[in-house]
Amino acid sequence: MEKKAAKIRKKDLTFLQKIYIPEIMKGLALTFRNMIRPKFTFEYPEEKFIPSGSYRGRPVLVEEKNGEERCVACGLCSRVCPALAIDVQAAETEREKERYPEKFEIDMLRCIFCGFCEEVCPEEAIVMSKDYELAFSSREEAIYGKDKLLVPVDQLQDRIDFLRQYK
């Protein structure tokens, strides 16, 4: 194809534009308007960002009011996890649900926060929390066991309500 020369727009500036002052006033007006608008930014970490229920922070296990986990260790979260972050070992319990997770570990270095585990869970036992502050200094530290994963159901009500509405 024949190459067309780029069209150069030649337009002389008007007198007002040439003296700059109205343009500078316009620009400064914008600047001052924004100076007095409310801020979007936070003074993190002094001030925390609290996300809404739709936020997918680190996955946690729901702890019932009686201190027991809801999880029955079916292993579906572990199966569906595309990053293979979840490791579950079931064991027998006297309770009616028959089995519980003897070991439940999420490798937070592998987790990609996709929320599949939460979606597949038949017991609403694993949900995405609002916790986004994750820092480790070794691989071992990044493996979260039941001690770190169990979170009381009260603290997760936002997410559970969100799931019931939209899942």
Partner 1 sequence: MPTIIIDEQEVEFQPGETIIQAARHHGIEIPHFCWHPELSVPGNCRICLVEVDKMPKLVIACSTIASEGMVVHTKSEKTIDAQNAVMEFILINHPLDCPICDEAGECKLQDYAYNYSVGESRFIEEKNRKQKHVELGPRVMFDGERCISCSRCIRFCDEIAKKPELTFVQRGDRVTITTYPGQPMVNPYSMNTIDICPVGALTNIDFRFKARVWDMSSTKSICTGCSRGCNIDIWVRNNEILRLTPRYNEQVNSYWMCDDGRLNTFKYVNADDRVDSPQIRGEGQLRKVEWEEAFDETVSRIKSFSKDEIAFVGSAHATCEDNYIFAKFARSVIGCGNIDFVQHIDPEFGDDILRVNDVAPNAMGAKLTGVSPSKSGLDIDGIKKAIREGKVKALYILEDDIITEDPQFENIITKLDLLVVHSTNHNKTTALADIIFPASAYAEKNGTFVNINKIVQRIRPAITTVDTDRALDGMEMSRLDKFGTEFDRWATGVKVDAKASWKILVSLSGLFDHKMKFNMAEEVFADMAKNIDAFKGLNYDDVGDSGVKLNYQFIEQKVKA
Binding site for partner 1 (CB under 8 A): 72-76, 78-79, 84, 87, 90-92, 97-99, 105, 107, 122-123, 139, 143
- φ/ψ of 148, rounded to 5, equals -90, -20
* Min CB(61)–partner 1 separation in Å: 15
Q: Structure tokens of 162?
A: 């969100």
- φ/ψ of 83, rounded to 5, equals -100, 5
Q: Which is nearer to partner 1, 108 or 130 (CB)?
A: 108
* Min CB(24)–partner 1 separation in Å: 59
* Min CB(84)–partner 1 separation in Å: 5
β-sheet bridge partners, residue 91: 100
* Min CB(89)–partner 1 separation in Å: 8
The beta-strand segments (E) located in the chain are 59-63, 86-92, 99-107, 126-128, 143-144, 150-152
Residues ≥6 apart with Cβ < 8 Å to 98? 72, 92
Q: Which is nearer to partner 1, 48 or 97 (CB)?
A: 97
Q: Which is nearer to partner 1, 16 or 84 (CB)?
A: 84
Q: Structure tokens of 52?
A: 């809404």
Q: Which is nearer to partner 1, 111 or 130 (CB)?
A: 111
Distance CA 35, CA 117 (A): 44
* Min CB(3)–partner 1 separation in Å: 51
Q: Which is nearer to partner 1, 62 or 130 (CB)?
A: 62
